[in-house]
Amino acid sequence: MAPAKILVVDDDPAVRNLIQRFLIRQNYQVESAEDGKTALALFEQFNPDLVILDVNLPDVIGFNLCQEMQSRNGVFVLMLTSRADEADKIRGFSKGADDYLTKPFGLGELEVRVAAILRRQRVVTTAEQKRLVFEKLMIDPVRREVTLNTQPVPLTALEFDLLHFLASHPGRVWRRSELIQEVWDYEYVGDQRVVDVHIGQIRKKIEIDASQPALIQTVRGVGYKFESSSQAQQFE
């Protein structure tokens, strides 16, 4: 299997070079950029599997660049910031970020976060490859596509993973901590409201009325469950 490709975007040359050298030693293919304009050009040429993206860039806000990259191909994004404010983290996740690392950070922690994100690219099992169809909603885990009334639904990588996981276990109630462990794929240390943010984004895209969701339902005091009036049909 070819090594994963990672694009590092940070205007601080010391941080950028440190991360790049470290990741190359971990056998990743790595490119780097110091600003948003260069990052977008490299993004198109390099087609990375993961972008490590600083929030504060000289020519663009990292949150907006994250959203722009996500809209193109659903790439994984790990945000870097010197701000530990929880509101910033929630904002980053709402823009499509898959994870968030606060400066200063240890290279060991960076390695764990990167590996956890890239594990979501694992080869799915035969059972997991089956398309799930609930009336007008179709979820295809191989193509990583969702359609509603035959129209494509633009989901970020993490939104897709969360929806597919919930839909694969209809009727089962999941606590936020369980969803983080199952979907984020490691022990996330932080505000579990990140789950609420992603659920809210998915609802806006698949529910008729996001304020009164029918598919992804809130179970007060516990967490969330996926419900459908029809039994899931699975197709090869």
pLDDT of residue 211: 86
CATH says 5-121 is which class?
alpha beta
CA dist 142 → 5, 107, 128 (Å): 20, 33, 8
CA 234 vs. chain centroid, Å, equals: 25
pLDDT of residue 25: 94
Question: If pLDDT is split at 50, 70 and 90, which confidence band does 123 have?
Answer: very low
Q: What CATH number is given for 127-235 in this structure?
A: 1.10.10.10
Q: Which of 36-45, 65-74, 105-114, 194-203 comes out lowest in average pLDDT?
A: 65-74
- Residue bearing the bigger pLDDT, 118 or 94: 118
CA distance 236 to 21: 43
Tens digits of residue pLDDT in 171-199: 999 999 888 888 876 555 566 778 888 89
pLDDT of residue 121: 62
Laid out side by side, the sheet with 233-235 consists of 151-152, 145-148, 137-140, 131-134, 233-235
Residues 137-146, mean pLDDT to the nearest whole number = 88
pLDDT of residue 9: 96
Laid out side by side, the sheet with 223-226 consists of 174-175, 223-226, 216-219
CA distance 81 to 13: 15
Beta bridge pairs of residue 123: none
- The average confidence (pLDDT) of the chain is 85
Q: Measuring CA to CA, which residue among 170, 108, 93, 194 is closest to residue 179?
A: 194
Q: Where are the domains of the chain?
A: 5-121, 127-235
Per cent of the chain over pLDDT 70 is: 89
Q: 23-60 burial, b for 16+ CB within 10 Å, e for fewer?
A: beeeebebbbbbbbeebbebbeebebbbbbbbbebeeb
